[in-house]
Structures are given as C-alpha cells and as structure tokens.
Structure 1
Amino acid sequence: MPQPKKEVLVLIWHWPWGYTFPLDRCYQDVGIPGCKMTTDRSLYSVADAVVMHHVEIMYNKNLLPQKPRPIFQYWVWANVEPPMIIQNLDILDNLFNMTMTFRQDSDVFVPYGQIETLKEPQNFTIPEKSKLVAWVVSKWYPGVRRIAYYEEFKKYISIDVYGKKHTKLDMDNLHSTLSQYKFYLAFENSEYKDYITEKLWTNAFTSWTVPVVLGTSRENYERFVPGDAFIHVDDFASPKELADYLLELDKDEEKYRKYFNWRSLYGVKLLTGWQHKYCQVCEVISRAPRYQTIHSVAKWFLNKS
C-alpha cells in the first residue's frame, strides 16, 4: 500500500512587500495538498524550505537566517522584479539552492498569468470601444526605452495616460475604464527574458483591449501567449509606423477583431497573488532532488540567455 506523501513545511521568512495571505489554504484555494506554511521562525530547524523575498533582504545580509542551513532544507530565493530593480545579488553566493521567479527556467516558475485551453470553443463579445489608446504608468525610470518610445509615439497618435503624474485611476475602476479603449500600451520597464507582467495579463487581457507590447522579444512573448493576441512595437520600423497601423485598425473593424479570435479557444488565468506562488514551493519540493546548489544567483539571474 503506497504511503501518503509527507507534509511539506514552508517557512515564510518575511511577508513579501508586507502582503499577507492565508497560510492554511493551499489545497482549498490552489489545489496543492500536503502543504503547511508558517511564519514561526522557531520552526526554522525543521522547515523543508525557507522562502526569502529578495526585496526584504536586499540591503542587509544579516536579515538572512543566521543559523546554518540544515542539509535537507531548501533556501528559496523569491523575486518577481527585473535586474534594474534589484541589487546586491552577490550577498546570496553559496547560500541558496532553489529559485522562485518569473523566469521559466526557475525551480519554481511563478508567471503573472497563463493561457489555458478551453474545453470547447466559446462565443465571445468584445466590449464596446469608444476610445483609442490608453496607458497606465506610475514609475518613470529615466533612460528606459518605454519612456523614449512614448515621447516619440505620442506625436502621431492620441494617448490617454493614467497614473500618479497623470489622470488618476482607482483600481476599482481599472477594467471598466480600460475596456473602453481599443489598444493598451503594455510597456514593460525592462526588456528581460520571460518578464511579462500584469501590464499584459491584468491591465490588457482582463480589460479586453488589444495590448501593444514593449519588452522582451516577440519570440519570447509567443512562448506564453498566442502571436495574434498582441501587437509588438518591434514589428514596426518606427513609432510613426506603429501609430499609422493602429489608426488603420481603428477604421477597419474586421481587421481589428482578428486580435480577439484566440479567445474562442483560450482563456486567461491570472497568477498575481502571493499565496499561489508560495504554495507552488510545496509542489516543487515534493519532486525536487534532495540535493542541489546554486553557487551564484547573480550569475544565473543576470544571464538573460
């Protein structure tokens, strides 16, 4: 008779960004059995894994566990930010033995969303569109490509910008507002492998507006979403050429609707909550090798290829 799987104990060293979530609902909410999570550091010596969110430890190595890591234990490096945001990766050398990031080659892969095949083809209705292009942006990092692209792009097409320094937009009104637009600028702050954030998954897809993406390559996007579900800035020789194309689609309803055809076969599942990410650690550990090591998180993470 097969033995039941051992319960996995995961110690959350810091709440990520201060966000809390239920510790005992991995099975009910995520469908992962045998997962116990805790924030009780007195259980450090018996925990199967300790998850450390990089932002909380980034500036002080002393915020890491100071006791030696038990031989059976995984130290999980958790991070959902691109290299331009995070610092001091070298303090992690020869300490961690598991990664949890948005990169698909992480031990624990935690994307912002995923495409799911529907059980059968579905009819769909596109929300009525009365406006053209929207962009929600809060942080204007100097020197990043998206800012320079926008400054040139806006010369040729009208763009409604929402955010801290622009028109205010409450999260409660996000989807109802964006769904009125034909296009949404899903411009990432970094061009980095597999870095495709809520700008695409939440802001564009769940608002039923066509995303115009700037970030990683089209080839990289197409590993995760249908190629006809978005417009990539790199497909055009200039911002003016892209603007002309959007204005053309605005006048051609049949051509515009083709960017929604994929929705008859696929749905969008958001994976933005922290609970889902941390519960995944249990599932991975249950089938992970009992020994592995990462000599340099920095070398792995800063290598984009």
Structure 2
Amino acid sequence: EYTCDLKREKDADVLLMHKRDLNFKQLETMKRNFEQIWLLWHDESNENSENINKYKFNWTITYRTSAEASLGAYGITIVKEKPWSHQQLNSWIDKQFKKRHNQAVWFVSNCRPQKRLKKFRSFRHHYPIAAFGKCIPLNGSLSLNARAQSGTACGRQSSCEKLYLTTSKFYLAFESQTCTDYITEKFWRTLSVGAIPIVSGPKRENFARIAPPQSFIHVDDYTS
C-alpha cells in the first residue's frame, strides 16, 4: 500500500523522500524509527549532496543502475512481444526514414556545459545541423545545407520542434554531464520519434546497457 498521508509515517515500513522536496529542518527534528527504511529519491546528477549522508538513508532510488532501486527516470526500453521482421524494418526505413532530411537537429538552452557546444561547432563544419536555443548565435546553425535558420522561435513542445524532430535523420542527444548512467529524455525522445541519437556524456557502455541494439551513435566511436 502506498500513501501520501504524513499522519501515517510512524506506521510505514518505508519512507520515500524526494531530494528536491526535502525539508531538512523538519528532517532533523523527526524522531526516527530505526525499524523503518528511509529511501532517498534523487534523479539529478552532479549536485552537492554531501549533507545528505548525515541522515543515514538506507536505500536510494536514482538513475544509477547500482542504486538499490534503479528506475528509468527518463525512459526505458520495452521489448516487443513480437519483434519486427527484417522485412518490416526495411519497409519502415524505405517509407519513413529515407524521406527525412539528411541533417541533425539540436535544441539547447543550458549554455554552461562548454564541451558539448565545442563538439557542435566542430560537427557543423562536416554535417548539416539545424540548431535552436539561446546558446546558438544568429546564423549559428547554418552549416552546409541545414534546413533551418538559427534564431527562429522553436520552443520546447512546439509544433516547430516536433517538425524538426520528425523530419531529420539525427538528433544531438548531448548530455550536460558525464556522470555514469545519466541518460535523460534527450536520448529517449529521439528514439520515440524515429530519429537516430548522436550521444555524448556517459561512456558508450552506459547507453549500450539500456538502449536497443545499434540504435545510437556515440561520439567516442570516432577519433575525429
């Protein structure tokens, strides 16, 4: 049984606490029942959480596969009961994928991680990339024959975003962190719209562990 009724906290076998919603002052005044399991839910990467250790949580639930409870916080792979045959897959490629523009697309708003911006600037000299967001300067996406104009309003969840995701062959699913197992909605959204994610961040084996076989391109697969 699961409940959000705080009046029943003393009788619960497990107390689940979300890191972002924790009231640490309240936590310090709680009289702990040491027969209970304290379960910390933390789904963000690279945050300063040193003060968390003093509360002696028993278990964690995070994006890390090594956590006591590891959930697909951003996405999971579900194996079809009846996989497509090679004929069905090739038919989809011929009818759908080959119609897409021979370009990659990227939506980026967090400008702090400079490594992925550097990779973008390098890639656009070799392959067309339609890029949008405050990190992209005016005309910054006009590489080769990319079918996009940088600076165009193309916000999250907009029809413009959907259009580029569903008509481009690739998406730059560059994570902001290199933390182990930190694979966010960028990757899963790309797969869900039928594009191929070009990934950067965690090591290749992190993606291979959870993704469909041969479903992505990792930048570390290439030396230049």
138, 154, 157: which one pairs with 2:124? 154
Question: What TM-score, normalized by structure 1, do the two folds share?
Answer: 0.59
- Equivalent in the alignment of 1:105: 66
What do the CA deviations read for 1:133-167 (whole angstroms, capped 9, x no partner)? Answer: 10122211144x21221222223332112335554
Residue 19 of structure 2: which of 34, 37, 54 is its match? 54
Q: CA deviation at 1:117?
A: 2.3
1:81 to 44, 49, 54: 44
Distance 1:95 1:42 in 2: 22
Q: Which one of the candidate residues 95, 101, 104 is aligned to 2:56? A: 95
Check the 8 A contact 2:113/2:176 in 1, yes or no: no
CA deviation map 1:39-77 (0-9, x unaligned): x322221122222222233xx631436212212222111
Is the CA contact 1:175–1:206 (under 8 Å) kept in the aligned structure 2? no
Counterparts of 1:55 and 1:169, CA distance in 2 = 26
Contact 1:61-1:91 at 8 Å conserved across structures: no
Q: How many residues align?
A: 197
Query: Given that residues 77 and 211 in structure 2 are in contact (C-alpha distance below 8 angstroms), is that contact kept between their aligned partners in structure 1?
Result: yes
Higher relative contact order (CA 8 A, sep 6+): 1
| The one of 180, 195, 215 aligned to 1:209 | 195
Distance (Å, rounded) in 2 between the aligned partners of 1:184 and 1:63 = 44
Inter-partner Cα distance in structure 2 for 1:108 and 1:54:
15
> With structure 2 as the length reference, what TM-score do the two structures score?
0.78
Instruction: Check conservation: 2:105, 2:164, Cα contact below 8 A.
Output: no
Equivalent-residue separation in structure 1 for 2:179 and 2:13 (angstroms):
31
1:139 and 2:93 equivalent?
A: no
Report the CA distance shift for 1:171/1:71 in structure 2 as closer, same or farther (over 3 A): same
- For 1:230, the equivalent position in structure 2 comes to 216
The separation in 2 between residues aligned to 1:211 and 1:192, in whole angstroms, is 18
Runs of 5+ unmatched residues, structure 1: 1-34, 239-305
Distance 2:113 2:173 in 1: 18
Structure 2 gaps of 5+ residues are 136-150
Partner of 2:180: 193
In the TM superposition, what is the alpha-carbon distance from 1:228 to its structure 2 partner? 1.2
Q: 1:206 to 1:65 in 2, by over 3 A?
A: farther
Aligned-pair identity in percent equals 31
> What CA RMSD, in Å, does the superposition of the two structures yield over aligned residues?
2.2
